[in-house]
């Protein structure tokens, strides 16, 4: 009497394992790309949230609030008090991200400038007044752009700040154009 052989041969098991390994490799590559995009958005969101926070502190407390974008990846917010200045926030962009201009990209649709990674009429800081406007040291309204980037141009983001209203807009780079998010 012949016994029925149940189970898989070694070759069949190796083929299945090979398919699983290929699928896992594709998944890991996709996850890395997705994580880079998520981190790029996180960096731009941090710039926006710090601008909004600085403006809100200025309006709520009727104090001048200075926001400084410090190379390569720090944002510092200082409230100007009568006696002394008080640092209210100091944050760093996510790991691997910095203020940087992507190669080959023009300016954002606002055309506030892209000569530097941080551009507020040639400076890297400004002051929110108690009415919510954003000005330079001489009281002149500032518009500007902050560019962030990780390891490649696909992670480039831009944040524009309109000084008269304190409004921010976010852009991401698609091919060689800036598209509002």
CATH, residue 36: 3.55.40.10
Residues of the domain holding 117: 10-180
The rounded distance, in Å, linking the Cα atoms of 124 and 71 is 9
Q: Is 4 contained in some domain?
A: no
pLDDT of residue 152: 84
Q: Is 120 contained in some domain?
A: yes
Q: Is 97 contained in some domain?
A: yes
Q: Is 37 contained in some domain?
A: yes
pLDDT of residue 120: 93
pLDDT of residue 24: 84
pLDDT tens string for the chain (181 positions)?
Answer: 566 667 778 898 899 999 899 888 887 777 777 777 888 999 999 999 999 999 999 999 999 999 999 999 999 999 999 889 999 999 999 999 999 988 877 889 999 987 889 999 889 999 999 999 999 999 999 999 999 999 888 899 999 999 999 999 999 988 888 999 8
Q: How many CB atoms sit inside 10 A of residue 75's CB?
A: 24
pLDDT of residue 2: 62
pLDDT of residue 58: 96
Q: Is 161 contained in some domain?
A: yes
Q: Is 2 contained in some domain?
A: no
For the chain, the maximum distance between any two Cα atoms, rounded to a whole number of angstroms, is 101
pLDDT of residue 26: 83
pLDDT of residue 65: 97
Q: Is 23 contained in some domain?
A: yes
Domain count, the chain: 1
Q: Give me the phi and psi of 128, to 5 degrees please.
A: -85, 130
Degrees, nearest 5: CA angle 97-178-72 = 20
Degrees, nearest 5: CA angle 12-16-17 = 115
């Amino acid at each position: 009497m012949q016994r029925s052989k149940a189970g898989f041969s070694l070759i069949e098991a190796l083929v299945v394992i090979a398919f699983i390994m290929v699928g896992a490799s594709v998944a890991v590559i996709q996850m890395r790309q997705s994580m880079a995009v998520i981190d790029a958005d996180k960096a731009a969101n941090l710039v926006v949230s710090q601008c909004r926070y600085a403006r809100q502190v200025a309006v709520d407390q009727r104090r001048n609030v200075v926001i400084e974008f410090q190379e390569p990846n720090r944002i510092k917010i200082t409230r100007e008090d009568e006696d002394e200045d008080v640092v209210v926030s100091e944050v760093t962009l996510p790991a691997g991200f910095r203020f940087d201009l992507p190669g080959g990209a023009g300016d954002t649709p606002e055309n506030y400038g892209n000569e530097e990674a941080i551009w507020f009429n040639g400076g890297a800081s400004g002051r929110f007044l108690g009415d919510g406007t954003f000005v330079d040291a001489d009281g002149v309204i500032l518009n500007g752009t902050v560019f962030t980037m990780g390891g490649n141009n696909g992670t480039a983001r831009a944040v524009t700040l309109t000084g008269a209203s304190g409004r921010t807009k976010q852009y991401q780079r698609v091919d060689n154009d800036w598209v509002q998010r």
